[in-house]
Structure 1
């Protein structure tokens, strides 16, 4: 009999709503579900009874609620992974796992941010794969937040190729051993540290891509304020943060007008930290605008940045440098900063022994900067049109390679071309009347091993 023949097929059995298509196994599952539903109902009563609790009870309640808050996302990922395995998600009308999670959150009457629903779905799907068993176990045991798990999964794909001696499970374990309080930021910082150690070229290339897509936008809020939104690569962000932090310290004032006969009183600066940072940014922009307009002489140094870097990283260009805020910069960025930023270099050798801290004679003095400006008239890179106030003094033969801080070893470059010179290893010939650039890559001393 052919398949084309009319064969009576049995009708598809109807499955009532709420009845699982998967055989139910005996156990405490139904009991746990019922108790959790009761707990969810009790949570709605908390706002009405919280005032009836003593201080110790209030602290206990806070701990319980926060445990439920953090643990529920982890358990949601475990449950969602099971729903994907069973085919429950595929059999629903949801377009994907993220939508399935969001729909059930909405049905429960609890608003869930789209990003949180996405994280639960991503982790749930990843935990089904044997290669991610380490993360699956950590989420199930409650030792890893969903956000950290997602970051670890993403960054493991970046780290594994550059550390071939470690399998994926070992890489994931590195992230899970971090202090949980570091969260996603800790995972990202460890990733950059590993890349700086084992694949400085990859880290520099990654940062070059980030620099190419940096953005700064602004828009008007409902209150009439203007909101600035900037996305900056690590090296540029470090300079901006250092400059704003330096100018945002509290500035207390004194009363009495300096008259010895009158009592003086110190009045604290009552500006919020956010307001102080905003004021510092405006001061920086105002000062820069005056320089660009030619109202003041641009002879000052760049922002002061404290970088901790070992001597091998600085000389060989392998590894990275760390800012006080924990940001990891690739060796190329550290080398660029060593040219004209008011860098306080904490150069380390051996077992983290400081070799050279704040060797100020390396820095370009105001007099030398003025002389370079007079000679170069601003930027020297071919085709650059940036005004002098937007330029930095570059050591043509790098400081770490024995170059001196002198007029004959200096050239003005705008920030962007300063980055390009260090990234590609360009060299220049300095003459009494100007600078001529050789755009052959890799001519800079020490660049053969540096990130390109």
Structure 2
């Protein structure tokens, strides 16, 4: 689910009944407490016995542990709210609710991060107020993470003045009806989208203030490394992320064999294992995978950008191309009238002014109209996707479309749903974005998909792809 599909905003759910607290059955609470304490004790045994489980049991155990992890934070907020109501927190020596939560976490033997303790405390305090009944009900039933609840509470205060006709409960309901996978980032992005739609000038003014207080600092860590810390306004952050992502994809290295089947990398920038060949070409060379971590690839991409920019600034080379390539989804009015906002593939929302500024010196691909210079359907004339077609697929799919995968567009390929070699066209309606792994899996198992205007639905029945034993499209 993309952020765009969350607008127009959904109807407010009926939460009147959900907001009522149902008393616990008399005598049941002590039993629940005792059983939970037994579960907590069992958790300490898991590391010693996990090797005794089969693959299916390990998966089941992982699901149970993750449920306990997420649900316990929600229930902790509910219990903390009750402790505040009955005066337990006020009667303790804790200075505030956050400190009360932190102390009990430390006493349990498993301390939590201060920011997590604060989030639980803030949500607990807020759930006691009638105006936040929607959040209280969602946290109690487990349909909303504590972090998302905290973000919704903060951002509701920003949205409410912009839409006077909507009360606070309705605004909170909008946030809670977002896809849970979007999390805090989705709440923040929807807030910016609402502000861009109903308060363009306010959002532009807010971002202008953010640009004035942007910072970049660095310091030396205990290991001798230098840590860079940057705080950037949304528009500048979008440019930086787009530029780094474009240069941080894995780069397999080519190496020659010495007759024994071993290979030595020709890439002086990194060392790759000699026993990691992925394929051999007719010239006797092999391809070895890029073993750099994602963080290392991003660091290398940043250094490449800085090195190239330094050469241009010093006059050693002439600038070539545009500043950056940015994909923005926007209404035509955002460019022509400066009304509304624009959304990047990573769900960053830019105000209309930022989008128009980007159009001056960036390689901007505004998804407004296809236009004669960016055809979205090239039929059988082209074997590979064009730049315009890939942009359309990125905007529609937002990353790998395989069920359960969250790989971003920079690590994905455009897959022909009906393979080229089976008569499939290179078109938007025959394209789906897949990461490298799932692209291989789709061809290996012969999966097929249905392409809709707003996304892709996969049929994971093996063998549905025409002539699926052929080479990948």
Deviations 1:183-231 (A, max 9, x none): 1011111111111111111111111121111111112222221111111
SS at match of 1:274: helix
Given candidates 277, 290, 298, the residue that maps to 2:311 is 290
Shift of 1:356: 7.1
Q: Structure 2-normalised TM-score?
A: 0.66
Q: Equivalents in 2 of 1:85, 1:116: separation in Å?
A: 21
Shift of 1:287: 1.7
Shift of 1:255: 4.3
Deviations 1:353-374 (A, max 9, x none): x457759xxxxxxxxxxxxxxx
Gapped runs of 5+ residues in structure 2? 1-23, 257-265, 267-280, 376-473
Change (3 A) 1:107 1:255: closer
Counterpart in the other structure of 1:27: 27
Q: Is the 8 A contact 2:217 2:230 kept in 1?
A: yes
Does 2:182 match 1:182? yes
Given candidates 324, 331, 347, the residue that maps to 1:303 is 324
Does 2:338 match 1:317? yes
Counterpart in the other structure of 1:441: none
Counterpart in the other structure of 1:336: 357
Counterpart in the other structure of 2:42: 42
- Bigger shift: residues 44-53 or 304-313: 44-53
Counterpart in the other structure of 1:233: 233
Shift of 1:339: 0.8
Q: Equivalents in 2 of 1:103, 1:158: separation in Å?
A: 32
Change (3 A) 1:175 1:139: same
- Bigger shift: residues 168-177 or 305-314: 305-314
- Bigger shift: residues 52-61 or 325-334: 52-61
Q: Equivalents in 2 of 1:156, 1:205: separation in Å?
A: 19
Q: Is the 8 A contact 2:102 2:114 kept in 1?
A: yes
Gapped runs of 5+ residues in structure 1? 1-23, 349-353, 360-452
- Bigger shift: residues 337-346 or 140-149: 337-346
How many equivalent pairs are there?
Answer: 329
Q: Is the 8 A contact 1:344 1:357 kept in 2?
A: no
Q: Equivalents in 1 of 2:85, 2:291: separation in Å?
A: 57
Counterpart in the other structure of 1:211: 211
Counterpart in the other structure of 1:147: 147
Does 2:137 match 1:126? no
Change (3 A) 1:342 1:33: same
Change (3 A) 1:64 1:121: same
Counterpart in the other structure of 1:412: none
Counterpart in the other structure of 2:247: 247
Shift of 1:156: 0.4
RMSD over equivalenced CA pairs, Å: 2.2
Q: Equivalents in 1 of 2:182, 2:166: separation in Å?
A: 23
